[in-house]
Amino acid sequence: MSGRARNLVVLLTIWAVLVFAPYWMPFVGGYTALGARVLVLALAAMSVNFLLGFTGVLSFGHAAYFGLGAYGAGFALKFLAPSTPLSLICGMLLGGLAGALLGSLIVRRRGVYFAMVTIAFGQVLYYVAFQWSSLTGGDDGLRGFSRQPLDFGFGSIDILSNETAFYFFVLVCFAIVVAVMGYVLQSPFGRTMIAIRENERRARFLGIAIERHIWIAFTLSCFFMGFAGALYALVNNFADPRGLHYSQSGDFVMMAVMGGMRSFWGPLLGAAVFVVLQDYLSSLTVNWMSFVGLLFILVVLFFPRGLLGFIRRQEPA
């Protein structure tokens, strides 16, 4: 099979699995709400990987923009207007603009320094969400809002009580953002990002404005992240400060690495495995934290290229 045909088969398989998820998941012990969660967290992991896997800079504080997105959606539904699309836009804007602003402080650093600064700035936003309890509800989280039926003028879709309809709504949102992400990566800008990842110095010699490119990539990824966070608020009808915490960032990075951060779809696989495993472990033992920690260590030591990277290496080239 030629490369192009193979890509088409892979793509069709992925979408078929996702589209029919509400119908096959019950047979393997899953439930539709879990499917929606996997999609949203996968979107977040793919946004992290947009930066990590394709620009080569590690942000370990990306959950902050995810959590902000969730608050943005919550605020919009609670204080602005009962509209689901509006809440998604507000969430995306809140996460993305915060990222654009902080990103300008961050992008000049590299390597471990970059990672540390992103963690620290992520924690600022976490503390703000945690302390400003009159607005955010503090530790208890933001409650008192729920996703609204989609109104098209000629008819409406109830995504609040109909879990399957909501899953398809999330899937459509997922598809749109993933398409945008894929488009950016295919564009000359995306190619430049990869050039920076492969050899920053050479890219600089070629006259590429490295800082500006990294800043744009960082900001874009924060917009995607804010969107994912907004969707997450709709999944739970709830937003809380833990969504901004660096341990959440660690989970996202882990999903990306576990799936395979050199590939576009890797984080989706990673998120699915991670969410299902966590769901299963926490129902099985109170010491699930140890097992998750062990998973981190095992992946780093034995599968640094992730599941997809591992599978690819087994095949003859």
Partner 1 sequence: MTQLLLFNVTNGLIIGVFYVLMALGLSLILNLSNVINFAHGGFLVIGGYIAYSVTPYVGFWGALLIAPPLTALIGFIVERILIRPLYGRDPLYGLLLTFGLAFIIEDGTRFIWGAQGKPVTVPAVLARPLSSELFFITGYRLFMVVTTIIVVALLFAILRYSRLGIRIRAGTLDLETVAAMGVNIRALRSLNFAAGVFLAGLSGVLAAGQLGLEPTMGTGLLMPSFVAIIVGGVGSLTGTLIGGLLIGVASGVTAVFLPAASEAVIYVLMALILLLRPRGLLGEEGMMT
Binding site for partner 1 (CB under 8 A): 52, 58, 60, 105, 108-109, 111-113, 115-117, 119-121, 123-124, 127-128, 131, 246-247, 250, 253-254, 257, 287, 289-290, 292-297, 299-301, 304
> Which C-beta is closer to partner 1: that of 63 or that of 233?
63
Closest approach, Cβ 123 to partner 1, in A, equals 5
Whether residue 229 contacts residue 73, with contact meaning beta carbons closer than 8 Å, is answered with yes
Q: How far is CA 93 from the centre of its chain?
A: 15
Q: How far is the CB of 127 from partner 1 (least distance, A)?
A: 5
CB of 195 to partner 1, least distance (A): 18
Closer to partner 1 by Cβ: residue 110 or 312: 110
* Calpha distance 223→93 (Å, rounded): 7
- For residue 115, the minimal CB distance to partner 1 (Å) is 6
CB of 114 to partner 1, least distance (A): 9
**Nearer to partner 1 (CB atom), residue 11 or residue 289:** 289
Nearer residue to partner 1 within complex by CB, 36 or 51: 51
Smaller CB separation from partner 1, 265 or 303: 303
* Smallest separation, CB 121 to partner 1 (Å): 7
- 226 CA to centre of own chain: 9
> Closest CB to partner 1 among 276 and 295?
295
